[in-house]
Amino acid sequence: MLFGPRLAILIWWIINPALFGSAFNTWIWPLLFAIFAPFTMIFFLIGWRLHPGISGFDWVLIAIGIILDISSHTGAGAGYRRRERLRRD
């Protein structure tokens, strides 16, 4: 879950760098998205690829990406606390 979406972004960028160039004006936003919110970035790019610009149903896709990113971050913390608790016992 940690490297999967980031690897998908990397492969997608290698295959179609023009999509990233049209969706983002600078290199910093894709880098930050890939590090902190990879699912949101994937859904943003899917929406952008369907038609340049974000509108309508694309916001639903982005919301799903945000939910997946938040759940992956909170799930990782919960798993870490559970492992620490089991290790102490």
| Residue 1 clears pLDDT 60, i.e. is over it | no
Q: Kindly list the domain boundaries of the chain, sorted by start residue.
A: 4-88
| Residue 78 clears pLDDT 70, i.e. is over it | no
Residue-wise pLDDT for 4-56, tens only, equals 899 999 999 999 999 999 999 888 999 999 999 999 999 999 999 888 888 88
CA distances from 36 to 1, 85, 89 (A): 13, 27, 33
**Neighbour-count burial of 54, counting CB atoms closer than 10 A to its CB (0-12 exposed, 13-18 middle, 19+ buried):** middle
Q: pTM of the entire structure?
A: 0.77
